[in-house]
Amino acid sequence: MRRFFWLQILILAFSFAAAAQDENEDSFVSVIDHKWERVRVSGQKIENNSAAPIRGLTANDKYYQRASRENQPKGVPDPSEYTVDGRSAALERSVQESRSVKTDDINAFRYAASVKNNSDRKVDIIFWEYKFTELANPKNVVRRQFLCAAKMKPGEKFELAAFSTLGPSEVVSAEGLKDSSARLFDEKILINRIEFADGAILQRRDWKMAEVKAGIEKATASPWGKEVCKIL
Protein backbone atom coordinates (compact mmCIF):
# COMPACT_ATOMS: atom_id res chain seq x y z
CA MET A 1 0.00 0.00 0.00
CA ARG A 2 2.84 2.38 0.90
CA ARG A 3 4.61 1.64 -2.41
CA PHE A 4 1.40 2.30 -4.34
CA PHE A 5 0.99 5.62 -2.53
CA TRP A 6 4.49 6.76 -3.42
CA LEU A 7 4.03 5.60 -7.02
CA GLN A 8 0.95 7.79 -7.28
CA ILE A 9 2.97 10.74 -6.03
CA LEU A 10 5.72 10.00 -8.52
CA ILE A 11 3.27 9.80 -11.42
CA LEU A 12 1.71 13.10 -10.39
CA ALA A 13 5.11 14.76 -10.02
CA PHE A 14 6.21 13.41 -13.38
CA SER A 15 3.11 14.75 -15.06
CA PHE A 16 3.88 18.27 -13.87
CA ALA A 17 7.58 17.93 -14.68
CA ALA A 18 6.89 16.62 -18.16
CA ALA A 19 4.39 19.38 -18.81
CA ALA A 20 6.98 21.95 -17.78
CA GLN A 21 9.79 20.33 -19.75
CA ASP A 22 9.47 22.77 -22.62
CA GLU A 23 10.50 25.47 -20.17
CA ASN A 24 13.71 23.45 -19.47
CA GLU A 25 12.73 22.52 -15.94
CA ASP A 26 14.09 19.30 -14.49
CA SER A 27 12.23 16.01 -14.56
CA PHE A 28 13.12 12.45 -13.65
CA VAL A 29 14.84 12.26 -17.04
CA SER A 30 15.92 15.68 -18.27
CA VAL A 31 16.90 16.64 -21.81
CA ILE A 32 20.34 18.22 -22.02
CA ASP A 33 20.63 18.69 -25.77
CA HIS A 34 19.09 17.51 -29.03
CA LYS A 35 19.74 17.58 -32.76
CA TRP A 36 18.77 16.00 -36.06
CA GLU A 37 20.82 15.69 -39.22
CA ARG A 38 20.80 14.19 -42.70
CA VAL A 39 23.08 11.18 -43.03
CA ARG A 40 24.11 8.58 -45.58
CA VAL A 41 23.72 5.04 -44.28
CA SER A 42 25.97 2.45 -45.92
CA GLY A 43 24.38 -0.74 -47.19
CA GLN A 44 25.04 -4.04 -45.47
CA LYS A 45 26.34 -7.20 -47.06
CA ILE A 46 24.08 -10.15 -46.31
CA GLU A 47 26.14 -13.32 -46.44
CA ASN A 48 24.96 -16.80 -47.30
CA ASN A 49 26.18 -18.78 -44.30
CA SER A 50 25.76 -22.28 -45.76
CA ALA A 51 29.01 -24.23 -45.62
CA ALA A 52 30.77 -25.33 -48.77
CA PRO A 53 31.47 -29.09 -49.11
CA ILE A 54 34.81 -30.25 -47.75
CA ARG A 55 36.96 -32.03 -50.29
CA GLY A 56 38.39 -35.43 -49.47
CA LEU A 57 42.04 -35.95 -48.54
CA THR A 58 44.43 -37.17 -51.23
CA ALA A 59 48.09 -38.17 -51.40
CA ASN A 60 48.93 -34.53 -52.15
CA ASP A 61 47.74 -33.59 -48.64
CA LYS A 62 50.48 -35.59 -46.93
CA TYR A 63 53.14 -33.63 -45.04
CA TYR A 64 56.00 -34.20 -47.52
CA GLN A 65 53.95 -33.14 -50.56
CA ARG A 66 52.60 -30.05 -48.78
CA ALA A 67 56.08 -29.01 -47.61
CA SER A 68 57.51 -29.36 -51.11
CA ARG A 69 54.76 -27.16 -52.58
CA GLU A 70 55.68 -24.35 -50.18
CA ASN A 71 59.00 -23.99 -52.01
CA GLN A 72 57.41 -23.84 -55.46
CA PRO A 73 57.12 -20.53 -57.38
CA LYS A 74 54.04 -18.43 -56.67
CA GLY A 75 51.16 -19.21 -58.97
CA VAL A 76 51.77 -22.93 -59.31
CA PRO A 77 48.33 -24.54 -58.89
CA ASP A 78 47.51 -26.85 -56.00
CA PRO A 79 46.96 -30.39 -57.40
CA SER A 80 43.98 -30.84 -55.09
CA GLU A 81 42.13 -28.16 -57.05
CA TYR A 82 41.87 -30.58 -59.99
CA THR A 83 40.20 -33.35 -57.99
CA VAL A 84 36.42 -33.85 -58.15
CA ASP A 85 36.02 -32.64 -54.57
CA GLY A 86 38.26 -29.63 -55.22
CA ARG A 87 36.27 -28.56 -58.26
CA SER A 88 32.98 -29.06 -56.36
CA ALA A 89 34.17 -26.91 -53.45
CA ALA A 90 35.35 -24.13 -55.79
CA LEU A 91 32.03 -24.19 -57.67
CA GLU A 92 30.05 -24.02 -54.42
CA ARG A 93 32.12 -21.05 -53.21
CA SER A 94 31.40 -19.26 -56.48
CA VAL A 95 27.66 -19.88 -56.12
CA GLN A 96 27.63 -18.63 -52.51
CA GLU A 97 29.51 -15.46 -53.46
CA SER A 98 26.97 -14.76 -56.20
CA ARG A 99 24.16 -15.13 -53.66
CA SER A 100 25.68 -12.67 -51.21
CA VAL A 101 23.57 -9.53 -51.34
CA LYS A 102 24.63 -5.98 -50.49
CA THR A 103 21.81 -3.61 -49.69
CA ASP A 104 21.88 -0.16 -51.26
CA ASP A 105 23.19 2.91 -49.47
CA ILE A 106 20.30 5.11 -48.39
CA ASN A 107 19.73 8.74 -47.48
CA ALA A 108 18.33 8.95 -43.95
CA PHE A 109 17.93 11.16 -40.91
CA ARG A 110 19.52 10.77 -37.50
CA TYR A 111 17.56 11.99 -34.49
CA ALA A 112 19.34 12.33 -31.16
CA ALA A 113 18.65 13.58 -27.66
CA SER A 114 21.17 13.74 -24.82
CA VAL A 115 19.41 12.98 -21.53
CA LYS A 116 20.24 12.52 -17.86
CA ASN A 117 18.68 10.21 -15.30
CA ASN A 118 17.95 12.50 -12.36
CA SER A 119 16.24 9.80 -10.31
CA ASP A 120 17.73 7.34 -7.84
CA ARG A 121 16.52 4.38 -9.91
CA LYS A 122 17.86 2.59 -12.96
CA VAL A 123 15.95 3.45 -16.13
CA ASP A 124 15.37 0.56 -18.51
CA ILE A 125 13.05 1.89 -21.23
CA ILE A 126 12.33 5.39 -22.54
CA PHE A 127 9.64 6.46 -24.99
CA TRP A 128 10.39 9.91 -26.39
CA GLU A 129 9.56 12.09 -29.35
CA TYR A 130 11.09 14.80 -31.50
CA LYS A 131 8.31 17.29 -32.18
CA PHE A 132 8.53 19.65 -35.17
CA THR A 133 6.25 22.64 -35.66
CA GLU A 134 6.71 24.58 -38.88
CA LEU A 135 7.24 28.24 -38.04
CA ALA A 136 5.60 29.51 -41.24
CA ASN A 137 2.60 27.22 -40.72
CA PRO A 138 2.10 26.27 -37.03
CA LYS A 139 -0.68 23.86 -37.97
CA ASN A 140 1.93 21.66 -39.62
CA VAL A 141 3.11 19.54 -36.67
CA VAL A 142 5.12 16.33 -37.07
CA ARG A 143 6.03 13.94 -34.25
CA ARG A 144 8.80 11.38 -34.67
CA GLN A 145 8.48 8.92 -31.78
CA PHE A 146 11.08 6.44 -30.56
CA LEU A 147 11.42 3.45 -28.25
CA CYS A 148 14.81 3.12 -26.54
CA ALA A 149 16.50 0.49 -24.39
CA ALA A 150 18.33 3.06 -22.30
CA LYS A 151 19.68 1.06 -19.31
CA MET A 152 20.62 4.29 -17.49
CA LYS A 153 22.02 4.22 -13.98
CA PRO A 154 21.06 6.96 -11.48
CA GLY A 155 22.81 10.22 -12.41
CA GLU A 156 24.03 8.85 -15.75
CA LYS A 157 24.01 10.88 -18.96
CA PHE A 158 23.12 9.08 -22.16
CA GLU A 159 22.50 9.79 -25.86
CA LEU A 160 19.30 8.41 -27.34
CA ALA A 161 19.71 8.17 -31.11
CA ALA A 162 17.90 6.52 -34.00
CA PHE A 163 17.95 6.49 -37.80
CA SER A 164 14.93 6.88 -40.02
CA THR A 165 14.15 7.49 -43.67
CA LEU A 166 11.42 9.89 -42.48
CA GLY A 167 12.43 13.54 -42.28
CA PRO A 168 11.15 16.27 -39.95
CA SER A 169 8.25 16.96 -42.29
CA GLU A 170 6.98 15.65 -45.61
CA VAL A 171 5.47 19.01 -46.52
CA VAL A 172 6.89 22.52 -46.03
CA SER A 173 4.96 25.65 -47.01
CA ALA A 174 6.33 27.90 -49.74
CA GLU A 175 6.42 30.78 -47.23
CA GLY A 176 8.95 28.90 -45.14
CA LEU A 177 11.24 28.32 -48.12
CA LYS A 178 11.66 32.01 -49.08
CA ASP A 179 14.73 32.38 -46.89
CA SER A 180 17.00 29.32 -47.24
CA SER A 181 19.03 30.35 -44.18
CA ALA A 182 16.02 30.76 -41.91
CA ARG A 183 15.00 28.20 -39.31
CA LEU A 184 12.07 26.13 -40.57
CA PHE A 185 10.86 24.43 -37.40
CA ASP A 186 10.30 24.95 -33.73
CA GLU A 187 11.83 21.80 -32.20
CA LYS A 188 10.97 20.18 -28.88
CA ILE A 189 11.88 16.95 -27.15
CA LEU A 190 9.24 15.22 -25.03
CA ILE A 191 9.81 12.28 -22.69
CA ASN A 192 6.57 10.33 -23.01
CA ARG A 193 7.13 7.33 -20.79
CA ILE A 194 9.82 6.00 -18.46
CA GLU A 195 10.03 2.38 -17.35
CA PHE A 196 12.31 1.75 -14.37
CA ALA A 197 14.18 -1.48 -13.64
CA ASP A 198 12.18 -1.99 -10.44
CA GLY A 199 8.90 -2.06 -12.38
CA ALA A 200 7.74 1.53 -11.72
CA ILE A 201 6.32 3.37 -14.73
CA LEU A 202 5.96 7.12 -15.28
CA GLN A 203 3.99 8.45 -18.22
CA ARG A 204 3.10 11.87 -19.58
CA ARG A 205 -0.58 12.59 -19.00
CA ASP A 206 -1.53 13.50 -22.58
CA TRP A 207 0.42 10.65 -24.22
CA LYS A 208 -1.32 7.36 -25.03
CA MET A 209 0.58 4.15 -25.65
CA ALA A 210 -2.35 2.77 -27.65
CA GLU A 211 -1.63 5.33 -30.37
CA VAL A 212 1.78 3.79 -31.07
CA LYS A 213 0.87 0.15 -30.41
CA ALA A 214 1.44 -0.89 -34.04
CA GLY A 215 4.84 0.82 -34.04
CA ILE A 216 5.85 -0.92 -30.81
CA GLU A 217 4.87 -4.32 -32.19
CA LYS A 218 6.90 -3.68 -35.36
CA ALA A 219 9.94 -2.42 -33.42
CA THR A 220 9.99 -5.40 -31.07
CA ALA A 221 9.20 -8.04 -33.71
CA SER A 222 12.70 -8.03 -35.19
CA PRO A 223 15.95 -8.62 -33.24
CA TRP A 224 17.80 -5.53 -32.01
CA GLY A 225 21.39 -5.14 -33.07
CA LYS A 226 23.68 -2.46 -31.69
CA GLU A 227 21.01 0.24 -31.98
CA VAL A 228 19.68 1.79 -28.79
CA CYS A 229 16.47 3.21 -30.25
CA LYS A 230 13.94 2.31 -32.92
CA ILE A 231 11.39 4.59 -34.52
CA LEU A 232 7.73 3.90 -33.81
Per-residue pLDDT tens digits for 179-199? 556 678 899 999 999 999 999
Higher pLDDT, 216 or 54: 216
User: Mean pLDDT, to the nearest integer, of 192-213?
Assistant: 92
Name the 3-class secondary structure at 70.
Answer: helix
* pLDDT given for residue 7 in this prediction: 42
Does the pTM exceed 0.75? no
Instruction: Return the top range by mean pLDDT from 90-99, 178-187, 212-221.
Output: 212-221
User: Mean pLDDT, to the nearest integer, of 121-136?
Assistant: 93
**C-alpha closest to that of 187 among 207, 217, 167:** 167
pLDDT (tens digit, 9 = 90+) per residue, 1-21? 444 334 443 444 444 344 434
pLDDT (tens digit, 9 = 90+) per residue, 50-80? 555 555 555 555 555 555 656 656 655 565 5
Mean model confidence pLDDT for the chain: 75
The pLDDT confidence band at residue 148, using thresholds 50, 70 and 90, is very high
**C-alpha closest to that of 154 among 128, 123, 183, 124:** 123
Give yes or no for a contact between 14 and 123, defined as CB atoms under 8 angstroms apart. Answer: no
Would you list the domain boundaries of the chain?
Answer: 2-7+16-43+106-231, 45-102
Name the 3-class secondary structure at 158.
Answer: strand
Give yes or no for a contact between 120 and 154, defined as CB atoms under 8 angstroms apart. Answer: yes
The pLDDT confidence band at residue 153, using thresholds 50, 70 and 90, is very high
User: Mean pLDDT, to the nearest integer, of 126-131?
Assistant: 95
